[in-house]
Amino acid sequence: MDLMGMMGKLKETQQNIEDTKKRLDNVLVDEQSTDGLLKVTLTANRTIKSISVDDSLLEDKDQLEDYLVVVLNKAIAKATKTNETEMEAVTKMDMPMIPGMEDLFK
């Protein structure tokens, strides 16, 4: 592949990455506590969209805080995995193989 062709492919890949980032704003990740008293929804770009708290959790501030930490961390981990999987797929699919750099994309 010639240098101009490679540069064009890199620009196309960059655009595909930006398009994927925008699309991931609309991919929702749901997580909840094991008892279902706290539910959160994030985008795959890790923006919190909603939090639903059962009234029973409002009586115990410490318990609510613990629930928020656990459930939000699980949701963020799930959203991060989704994000990384999608971004990896785009970059592997679109990146031109430059001699000597193949190992970077495995």
Residue written as token pair 């196309």: 12
Task: In whole angstroms, give the CA distance from residue 35 to residue 37.
Answer: 6
Band of the pLDDT at 96, cuts 50, 70, 90?
low
Q: What CATH number does residue 34 fall under?
A: 3.30.1310.10
User: Dihedrals φ, ψ of 37, to 5°?
Assistant: -80, -20
- What residues pair up with 32 in beta bridges, in sequence order? 39
pLDDT mean across residues, the chain: 87
pTM: 0.74
- Residue 80 is part of which domain span? 3-95
Token pair for residue 66? 């613990």
Report the domain count for the chain.
Answer: 1
With beta carbons less than 8 A apart as the criterion, state whether 16 and 90 touch. Answer: yes
Longest dimension (CA), the chain: 67
Residue 106 resides in a domain: no
Residue 103 resides in a domain: no
Task: Give the pLDDT confidence of 28-60 residue by residue, as tens digits.
Answer: 999 999 999 999 999 999 999 999 999 999 999
Residue 32 resides in a domain: yes
